[in-house]
Structure formats: structure tokens, C-alpha cells
Structure 1
Amino acid sequence: MTVNNSLKIDLHTHSTASDGTCTPTEIIKLSEQQNIGAVALTDHDTVAGLDEFIDAAAKSSVIAVPGVEISTTFERREVHIVGLFIKHKSNKLNAFLKEIQQGRHVRNQHIIAKLQSRGYDITLEEAAAHADGDIVGRPHIARTLLKKGEFASMEEVFEKLLKRGRPGYAPRPMTSPVEAIAQIHAANGIAVWAHPIFRQINEYQWCRKAIKYLKRHGLDAIEVYYSSFNHEQSSALLAYAEEFELARSGGSDFHGDSHDAKLGIGNGGLHVPFEFYEELLVKAEKYR
């Protein structure tokens, strides 16, 4: 395969299998329409959409990269580890994800109980009805309240009830990034730290320290291009990738209509070059 920098790639997307609004097939069709050469489906804590995703790509010109995004915690901060090129039928990986999904379910029960105690007419079954896949999360709870006419927008639900520190928020148990990296490697994938400075504007010192630690535990790459990154942030991450000999990745964090970020272009200025895909593919050979 030769480098084609006229093509862009998007290695961070979500479908209806988790909290996105587009099906895996629709993501492939959109990618083809927008001249995206390679796209990864990285649903939260699930690989349920990957069979459909891979089948749809086989009928298109788009390269499908099977992936997953795993929420972890490190030094009391949330760290998202994306697995790319994973063998998604791995029994070990699926058992690991099942444990995480159970933690999500318990958290959802706590959120619903908090909302009910404050007079909101909502059940977990109603929220689950808004999820096309097995993953039910705060976006589905928010969508349920929105449909009931309780709020004017999803943003309002989160701002008043569901974001951290609000009365309907409940934490959930998370694994460590080291464990997530190990599980991804066991499934023949590579581990990428997604949006390393997301919600940590200008906290470069902590980010560099965390990268140094995670590199020792097998981190393969970091997202250097992301929908909300500015030039300064991407430049810093590109320097860290070079310093620690990590591969470079990037993506929009596309969720469909529920988020502003658009497939392939993020908030308008995103362009992840095709050469990143080839760089990551070479990294992935290490785990085959």
C-alpha cells in the first residue's frame, strides 16, 4: 500500500452500538462519500457493531479498522484508551468488556434512582429503549428525559442533571489504563491514548508524565489530531509522540447527530493524514 495524503482517515468514531446515532453501515457510507480512506469504529466498551462495520466496508472502497474505546482511570483522572486492529471475537477481550458493561449497568441503576428520588418519571427500561445496542449510558437517559419534554436540549439535561457534580450524576467503576492496554494487546490490537489533553487544557506537564508512564506499560500511540485540539495542543502532542517513539493517531470522536464533531473533519479543521494509518498498521504487526 502506498501513502496517499489526499485521503484523510478517521480513527475514532461511535455508532448505534454504543452512544452514536449512525449505524456501522452508515458510518462506512458516509466515509466513502467524504473520501475517507480508512475509518475505525471505536464504540464505548463494546465490539457489538464490528461485524456489521466490517461487512459494510467489504462492499466499499473504505478500509475498516476494528476498534474499541475503553474508559479507565489514572491518578483520579479519566483516561480513554482506544484499541485499533483488534481481533474483536477474542473471548478474553469480550469477557473483559462484559465486566465493564456490568459496571455501566450498576451505574445506570444509581442514576435512575437519583432521578426518581427527585421526581423525574423515568425508568431504566425506557432509557434502554433509546439504545440500539447493548450499551446504555447517560446520553440515552438524557434522550429519554428530552423526549418526555422535561428539557429543551441534551446539553441542558447534562448541565442540570447528569454531568459530574450534578444531582443525577453517579460515578462508575473503571479499570486501569495498564489493564486496558494489556487486554488490547492480548486481542492483537494496538493501544492508543485518545484525546490526551481533553478537559485538561494546558496541563502539558501532567500529560507528558502520564505518557511516559503508559509508554513503559505498552502504550503504542497517542491521538495528536482531535476535533477540539488547537494548533498548540496538537504541536505539543506531536512532540511527545516523537520524544517517546509513539505512533500518531487522530480522529473526530464522531457520534452522529448527538455531537457537533463531523466525520473526518471534526469541528471543521481536522485532517488526519493517511500516512498515520500506515504507521499504525506497522505497529500492529508487532502483536500478530
Structure 2
Amino acid sequence: MKYIDLHVHSNASDGTLSPTEVAGLAASLSLSAIALTDHDTLSGVREAQSAALVLSDSENPLRIIPGAELSVAYRKKDIHILGLFLDINNKPLNDALHTALIKRDERNEKMASNLRSAGIDITVDKLKAVEGEAVLTRAHFAKYMTEHGYTKTNKEAFEKYLNDSSPYYVPRDYLTPEKAISLIHQAGGLAVLAHPLLYKYNLEQLDDLISLLTKFGLDGIEAIYSMNTGFDEGIVRRFANRYNLVITGGSDFHGKNKPDIGLGFGKGNLKVPETLLEPLENRLKIRSL
């Protein structure tokens, strides 16, 4: 049995490994495919693909699936839609991602200003000096505050300063779910609801969300996930059956920013079989007709 990981981050957004390092790690673990799904950017995909050609074994090649994780607004919450098998040169998608990055920068400036009012010496320029061209997220704010002694851990930074009920938090101007799914389809990809149980909806509320997204053309749902416990996977699979959605799975790997989550194996027992790729590719064929 070969295994894959369809939810992976690099330092093109809020992971800590470069796309080349991610590809190298995937090859060393004998994964047959990973999807690079950085937040609101496709910038790391080409590097990861080039690295995979060099680093993976010719008898066991590593496939890099172009992806991105798009943030959308739903009932005052931040919901994530994965785009998989994307055309990284698609202009409408790249234009929308560029706009999202501008809005993200504006939000980051406001949040940094709020944090300075709390006595934290932080600016977006200081973050960029450390993180380079990475898409800045709240994880970078947390890392900075921990490294500079304002908090003991990244978790504490989120709990005290960065969660959406904090007075220092600034909401983003998000894409609508309908627009995000449309952009993914325009770029030749599949739209997948990421980690559906992390949003803490009850089953009726989750059904409402999935029903709405399906009307907009949702293709899949992430049923195999690092944070699943108990009957979680079965719950998501039942939603997939109800709404004719394909199943995906991924670790949500971020390197040292989520040190308890390993590429390809999550918290130790994650196994995403390569056999999931065939129904995904069949769905792609149907979508292209």
C-alpha cells in the first residue's frame, strides 16, 4: 500500500520548511503524492515540483499536486476550501489570490497596530524581515511573540491575543464560498472542504454548511485528518455519501509550527491511501466535460 498527503504547508505560507524541503521529506517517507496547499498562494508549487523530480526515486516517483487553501467567510467564521489539481498559471485565480494577499496585508497592519497598543513591539516589516516572502498569517504573529518573550508558547499567543474573540483580533475581508469554488473550478481544480469538524458546528449546522457548498459545486470533503478522534472519520464519510462528495485526506503539516503533526502520518496514525487519487481524478474528468 502506498500513501499520500493532500494537505501540506510550506514556508510559502505558514509552514517552516521550504517547498524543496517538503518535497525532500515526502520522498524520504516514500509518499507517492502530496498536495502543496499553502494559504492563498500557489507560489511554492513550482519549486516543490522541480525538487520532486530531483529528490524522489525514479522507481518510486513523488507527485506534487498543485493546490491552495482558500479562506472564505461563512456566518462570521473563517472556513477553508482546498483547491486541488489547480492550474498554477490560471489568471483569474492568481488575480484573486493577489487581491487576497493585499487584504491580508491590510489586516495584518491593523492587527500589529492593535498589538502595539498592548505593549508588544511588533510590525509587519519586522515579521517580513524574518519570514521573507511567506504569506503572513496569525501563526507568524504567534511565533514572533513567543520568540520575543511576550508569550511562552504559540498556543498562549492565540489564546491571549490572536483568537477571534480577542480585542486585538481583526477580521479579514474574505472571499465568499461561491466565489472561491468558482475560482477553483475555473483553474481546472477540485474544491474540497478542509477539516470540517474543526469548525465546532453541531451536526445540523455542519449539514447546512455542506448542503450550501454542494449547491455551489463542492467536489470533496476531507474525511481523513490528523485531528480526528473516535468516530470523526465515519461522521464525515456519511456526509460525503449524503452529498456525493469524494473523500480526501491530509495531515495539515506545518513543520515546527505544528510540531506534533508529521508529514504523511499526522499524529502518528494517519494513513491516506493512494487509492483515493482515482476517484478524485474521475471527478476531475467529469468536471471537465
Q: Fold conserved (TM > 0.5)?
A: yes
User: Displacement, 1:183?
Assistant: 0.1
SS of the residue aligned with 1:67?
strand
> Structure 1 residues 199, 217: CA separation in 2 closer, same or farther (over 3 Å shift)?
closer
1:210 is matched by which residue type in structure 2?
L
The count of aligned residue pairs is: 282
- Counterpart position of 2:28: 33
- Counterpart position of 2:254: 255
Residues 27, 52 of structure 2: 8 Å contact kept? no
CA distance in 1: counterparts of 2:133 and 2:45, whole angstroms: 12
Specify every segment of 5 or more residues in structure 1 that has no aligned partner in the other structure, as ranges: 1-5
1:42 is matched by which residue type in structure 2?
T
CA distance in 2: counterparts of 1:231 and 1:271, whole angstroms: 15
1:53 is matched by which residue type in structure 2?
A
Specify every segment of 5 or more residues in structure 2 that has no aligned partner in the other structure, as ranges: none
Question: What TM-score, normalized by structure 1, do the two folds share?
Answer: 0.94
Q: Does 1:274 align with 2:269?
A: no
- What are the superposed Cα offsets for residues 204-223 of structure 1, whole Å, 9 maximum, x if unpaired? 22112221221121100000
Identity of aligned residues (%): 37
**Residues 14-23 or 167-176, more deviating:** 167-176
Residues 130, 140 of structure 1: 8 Å contact kept? no
- Counterpart position of 1:51: 46
- Counterpart position of 1:131: 131
- Counterpart position of 2:92: 92
Q: Does 1:232 align with 2:225?
A: no
- Counterpart position of 1:3: none
Q: Does 1:18 align with 2:17?
A: no
User: Displacement, 1:20?
Assistant: 0.2
Residues 14, 134 of structure 2: 8 Å contact kept? no
For the aligned residue pairs, the C-alpha RMSD in angstroms reads 1.4
**Residues 65-74 or 163-172, more deviating:** 163-172
User: Displacement, 1:287?
Assistant: 4.3
- Counterpart position of 2:204: 205
- Counterpart position of 1:158: 158
Alignment of 1:73-112 (within 5 A): 73-112=73-112
1:100 is matched by which residue type in structure 2?
A
CA distance in 2: counterparts of 1:228 and 1:257, whole angstroms: 17
- Counterpart position of 1:117: 117
User: Displacement, 1:133?
Assistant: 2.5
SS of the residue aligned with 1:249?
strand
